[in-house]
Amino acid sequence: MEDMSETYPKTFGFPPVAAALTDPNGLLAVGGDLSPARLLDAYRHGIFPWFNPGEPILWWSPDPRMVLVPGEVRVTRSLAKRLRNGGFELRVDTAFVEVMRGCAAPRGGDAGTWISPMMVAAYSRLFEAGYAHSVESWHDGRLVGGLYGVAIGRMFYGESMFSRMTDASKVALVRLARQLQAWRFGLIDCQMETPHLASMGARPIERAAFVAHLSELVHLPHRPGPWHFDASD
């Protein structure tokens, strides 16, 4: 496994996140590359890439920031029933590229996606280095949903999720949150506010508060991948 702290420089001179635009909310910088070191430096400072294929790389740090405290994930009665009796098998870090491709698939009539082959290649390198992770919902031997993101120290940055079966991504998020709580992770970054994430217990906080949390969490001992879930109850 590649040791990013020794192989790559740690900073790339991103502007301070307070300099991000308010319209569009959070746009901070343009250009650069998606090298592992630059991505890790961005995440450590509360910055993430988001751009359409063919566009320059755009870097964002919106205010407010949507976050989920692992111990505050909201599980409805119907979702709890799906977790117990839905026939899902939850795995971690066994199908990273497949999860990214699932997240990239068109949905809701959209023809395109921001998860381009370049993004898949970049995050696959982070996965190989032990920083990116996938949580997968399997049913009858098929991958039916999941999510992926990046972990640094005791901070998890969620990137995207997908479902091919009702509640498949929700059960993956609940399983991840419970495991992160057991591992004493402080936050799951959800980036932008959506009703779906709010229904799961996520809430917006001011960017300054988010960055303050980061400054502590990313310096805690790192848990490199591939991950393995603890035995569930």
Question: Each residue of 44-81: pLDDT tens digit?
Answer: 999 999 999 999 999 999 999 999 999 999 999 999 99
Return the structure tokens found at 87: 């026939």
For residues 92 and 143, is the Cβ–Cβ distance under 8 A?
no
**Quick one: pLDDT at residue 10?**
55
Number of other residues whose CB lies within 10 A of the CB of residue 110: 8
Four-point Cα dihedral 156, 125, 219, 181, nearest 10: 30
Residue 78 lies in a domain: yes
4-54 per-position pLDDT tens digit: 444 444 567 899 999 999 999 999 999 999 999 999 999 999 999 999 999
Domain extent for 111: 65-217
In this prediction, residue 107 carries a pLDDT of: 72
Number of domains in the chain: 2
DSSP 155-185: EEEEEEEEESSTTHHHHHHHHHHHHHHHTT-
Do 49 and 105 belong together in one domain?
Answer: no
CATH number at residue 16: 3.30.70.3550
| Banded model confidence at residue 225, pLDDT cuts 50, 70, 90 | very high
pLDDT at 220: 97
Lowest mean pLDDT among 29-38, 91-100, 112-121, 129-138: 112-121
Cα(104)–Cα(80) distance, integer angstroms: 27
How many angstroms separate the CA atoms of 211 and 114, rounded? 25
Per-residue pLDDT tens for 165-222?
999 999 999 999 999 999 999 999 999 888 989 999 999 999 999 999 999 999 999 9
Query: Residue 14 carries which DSSP code?
Result: P
Dihedral sign for Cα atoms in the order 173, 194, 68, 105: positive
Rounded distance between C-alpha atoms, residue 27 and residue 64, angstroms: 13
Identify whether residues 117 and 136 lie together within a single domain.
Answer: yes
pTM, two decimal places: 0.92
